[in-house]
């Protein structure tokens, strides 16, 4: 199993550009999520999905969209990039919430918005 | 919603000494508490977890204790080694009121430095 795969690893955007961060898992996990990690702020939840066709907002959803058309894929879209979105983004999946199943993280995407 | 606090934010210990990191949570419905280790430039990786029906769990040099009444849990690392240097995150999750469970809420992290 590859686990959780994120692409790209690095990205530089100009303010106002849009892009999609890709995330795929091959563990048949129901739950998938996106976090951003900023210095001193820990991991903050952006959006999450408890199954195909179901998505919801986390703590910091503004400026981001998600969709979950398949169990395996959970892309994160930046609609109009802003310097405040400079961060490291992690995709994470779990078998299911509420059943003592831990999160498995991808390797992260380091995004810089200039 | 759930709030997780973590202390200390930085911790330096001599190689061979023990390290203790403490977390508190606010939601009594939380019942699952994983700990993650994140090395510089890498992803967070699970090192140990504990369920609310267990008071202590050990895995070699790592142990976690849970006090449900006080709503706090701690990570204990014994005989620390330089490769233990990393940022450690605690987290809380739970069954929740609906069918989907509670999202994971993370503490802000502790930067552990093990000095040779």
- What's the confidence (pLDDT) of residue A1? 73
Q: What is the dihedral of CA A68, B109, B107, B15, to 10 degrees?
A: 120
Q: From chain B, pick out residues whose CB is under 8 angstroms from the CB of A90.
A: 43-44
Q: Smallest CA–CA separation between A14 and chain B, in Å?
A: 23
Please indicate whether residue B1 or residue A46 has the higher confidence score (pLDDT).
Answer: A46
Please choose, from the candidates B96, B116, B113, the residue with its C-alpha nearest in 3D space to the C-alpha of residue B2: B96
- The mean pLDDT value of chain B amounts to 94
Tell me, rounded to whole angstroms, the distance of Cα B70 from its chain centroid. Answer: 16
Instruction: Answer yes or no: do B49 and A103 touch at CB < 8 A.
Output: no
Name B69's Cβ contacts closer than 8 Å, sequence gap at least 6.
none
Interface test with A, best of B38, B50, B89, B93 (most A CBs within 10 A): B93
Whether A42 has a pLDDT exceeding 90, the answer reads: no
Tell me whether residues A102 and B102 touch, CB distance under 8 A.
no
Burial of B37 (0-12, 13-18, 19+ CB in 10 A): buried
Cβ A74 vs Cβ A68: under 8 Å? yes
What's the mean pLDDT when you consider all of chain A? Answer: 95
A16-31: per-residue pLDDT in tens?
Answer: 999 999 999 999 999 9
Count each helix (H run) and each strand (E run) in chain B, helices first.
0, 11
Closest among B4, B36, B24, B2 to B69, alpha carbons compared: B24
Token code pair at residue B34: 């994983």
A89: contact with B, CB 8 A cutoff: no
Contact between chains at A42 and B34 (C-beta distance less than 8 A): no
Question: How far apart are alpha carbons B21 and B9 in whole angstroms?
Answer: 9
At A41 the pLDDT is: 78
Parallel/antiparallel/unpaired status of strands A54-57 and A64-66? unpaired
Interface touch B43/A43, C-beta < 8 Å: no
């Amino acid at each position: 199993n590859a686990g959780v795969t994120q692409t790209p690893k690095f990205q530089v955007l100009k303010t106002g550009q849009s892009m999609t961060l890709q995330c795929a898992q091959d563990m048949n996990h129901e739950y998938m999520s996106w976090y951003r990690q900023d210095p001193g702020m820990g991991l903050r939840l952006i959006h999450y999905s408890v199954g195909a066709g179901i998505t919801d907002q986390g703590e910091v959803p503004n400026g981001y969209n998600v969709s979950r058309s398949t169990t395996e894929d959970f892309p994160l879209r930046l609609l109009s990039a802003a310097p405040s979105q400079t961060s490291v983004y992690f995709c994470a999946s779990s078998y299911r919430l509420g059943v003592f199943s831990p999160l498995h993280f991808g390797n992260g995407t380091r995004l810089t918005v200039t | 919603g759930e709030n997780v606090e973590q202390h200390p934010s930085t911790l330096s210990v001599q190689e061979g000494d023990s390290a203790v990191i403490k977390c508190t949570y606010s939601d009594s419905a939380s019942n699952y508490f994983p700990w993650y280790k994140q090395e510089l430039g890498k992803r967070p990786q699970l090192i140990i977890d504990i369920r609310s029906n267990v008071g202590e769990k050990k895995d070699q040099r790592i142990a976690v204790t849970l006090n449900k009444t006080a709503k706090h849990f701690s990570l204990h690392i014994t005989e620390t080694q330089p490769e233990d240097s990393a940022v450690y995150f605690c987290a809380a999750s739970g069954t929740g009121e609906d069918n989907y469970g509670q999202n994971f809420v993370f503490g802000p992290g502790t930067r552990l430095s093990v000095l040779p």
